[in-house]
């Protein structure tokens, strides 16, 4: 019987105390953006992910938080759309392939271009160094240095090393995202 009351209370409090977080996921192509969205929505990772064309939208409920997630394509021709989908959100998630050291400079440039937009001033940033299950992945400190995250002063910035495949650190990432809800 105590389990019933606990479940009922959670359901009832979810009705009256639910929160929403609008989140946009961006990053270079093949960094793991869509895999991230798939894993947090279904708990399933797949190697057969079709590259996103333009954007995908998913609604995810975790506890009393509903997350509206925009997964925006990372190919060069779609990067000009990033600002539009990041405008007015509670958080920007920037996914980096932590094994693709050769693209860190491009990732830094694109992130700096995005964050320079006045409409995005103050929007919290979460950088995910994906694919930490693979040999040769960059550490969090390497990613912070390569993307010059310590120079970002106009918003909260967090960086985590994670793996969509093994789901390493995704619980912390979800807590961080839920903390951005209103």
Coil vs helix vs strand at 164 = coil
Q: What is the pTM of this model?
A: 0.87
Q: Which residue stretches of 43-154 are H helix?
A: 82-86, 104-115, 140-146
Model pLDDT, residue 105: 97
Question: What is the distance between the alpha carbons of residues 140 and 158, in angstroms, rounded to a whole number?
Answer: 10
Residue 53, φ and ψ in degrees, nearest 5? -110, 120
Note whether 124 and 144 are within 8 A (CB). Answer: no
Pairing state of beta strands 157-161 and 65-72? unpaired
Model pLDDT, residue 3: 60
Tens place of pLDDT for every residue, the chain, 182 residues?
A: 556 555 655 554 555 567 888 999 999 999 999 888 888 887 776 666 666 667 889 898 877 888 899 999 889 888 998 999 999 999 999 999 999 999 999 999 999 999 999 999 999 999 999 999 999 999 999 999 999 999 999 999 999 999 988 888 888 888 898 888 76
Domains of the chain: 19-178 (3.40.50.300)
Model pLDDT, residue 25: 95
């Amino acid at each position: 019987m105590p389990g019933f009351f606990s479940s009922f209370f959670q359901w009832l409090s979810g009705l009256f105390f639910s929160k929403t977080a609008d989140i946009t996921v961006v990053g270079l192509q093949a960094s793991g953006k869509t895999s991230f969205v798939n894993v947090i929505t279904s708990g399933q990772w797949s190697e057969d992910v079709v590259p996103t064309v333009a954007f995908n939208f998913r609604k995810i409920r975790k506890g009393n938080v509903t997350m509206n997630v925009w997964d925006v394509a990372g190919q060069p021709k779609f990067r000009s759309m990033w600002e539009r989908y990041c405008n007015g959100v509670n958080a920007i998630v920037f996914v980096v392939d932590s094994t693709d050291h050769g693209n860190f400079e491009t990732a830094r440039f694109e992130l700096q271009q995005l964050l320079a937009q006045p409409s995005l001033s103050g929007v919290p940033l979460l950088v995910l160094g994906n694919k930490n299950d693979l040999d040769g992945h960059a550490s969090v400190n390497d990613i912070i240095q390569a993307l010059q995250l310590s120079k970002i002063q106009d918003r909260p910035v967090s960086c985590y090393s994670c793996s969509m495949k093994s789901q390493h650190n995704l619980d912390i990432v979800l807590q961080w995202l839920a903390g951005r809800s209103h």
